[in-house]
Amino acid sequence: MTRIILIACVSVSFALGHGSAQAAEKKGVDLSKLPPTSDKIGVTYATDIKPMLEKSCLRCHDGVKPKAKLRLDSLEGVLKGGEDGKVILAGDSAGSMLVHSVAHLGNADGYMPPPRNKAGIQPLTKEQIGLIRAWIDQGAK
């Protein structure tokens, strides 16, 4: 009986920890530094997010050979993720890798757009990151 309970606990904590905010904190992502979520309602990929990604991300995450095999030019592409798996978790912006990348939290190799990129693309603003967070928290539609 004890063993079953133990296995159950381990599985539950794994399920909760994997890809979630707790998992992010274990990887050194300081979630207290995340820009606040925008209070805009009805945020969608088509109207709010794609235009932003077009300016800051699609130069490298579009077409037939996107960086890290991650296409951001369609909702399907974003939801599918890249070579390291899912980049957003619908409903959990704080646990989403894409949010950590654009907020420059955690591993500096993953900061997006890459700092000092040749194209001179600037980092996203706190307001833009807040809008991405709202979109993810509202279900990434």
Q: In sequence order, what are the residues at sequence separation of 6 or more whose Cβ sits closer than 8 angstroms to the Cβ of residue 8?
A: none
Question: Could you tell me if 139 and 94 are in contact, meaning their C-beta atoms sit under 8 angstroms apart?
Answer: no
Contact status: 140 vs ligand HEC (CB under 6 A): no
Contact status: 94 vs ligand HEC (CB under 6 A): no
**Stretches 14-22, 24-32, 34-42, 53-61: which one binds ligand HEC (CB under 6 A)?**
53-61
- Considering only 31, 75, 90, 121, the residue that binds ligand HEC (CB under 6 A) is 121
Task: CB nearer to ligand HEC: give 42 or 115.
Answer: 115
Residue 59 structure tokens:
């130069």
How far is residue 94's CA from residue 98's CA, in Å, rounded to a whole number? 10
Residue 114 structure tokens:
């890459």
Task: CB nearer to ligand HEC: give 3 or 118.
Answer: 118
The number of C-alpha atoms within 13 Å of 5 and in the hemisphere containing its C-beta is: 2
Contact status: 101 vs ligand HEC (CB under 6 A): yes
Question: Could you tell me if 113 and 72 are in contact, meaning their C-beta atoms sit under 8 angstroms apart?
Answer: no
- Considering only 50, 59, 80, 104, the residue that binds ligand HEC (CB under 6 A) is 59
- Considering only 70, 103, 105, 136, the residue that binds ligand HEC (CB under 6 A) is 70
CA distances for 111 relative to 16, 29, 84, 100, angstroms? 25, 12, 15, 8
The residues binding ligand HEC (CB under 6 A) are: 53, 56-57, 59-61, 67-68, 70, 81-84, 87, 97-98, 101-102, 109, 112-114, 117, 119, 121, 124
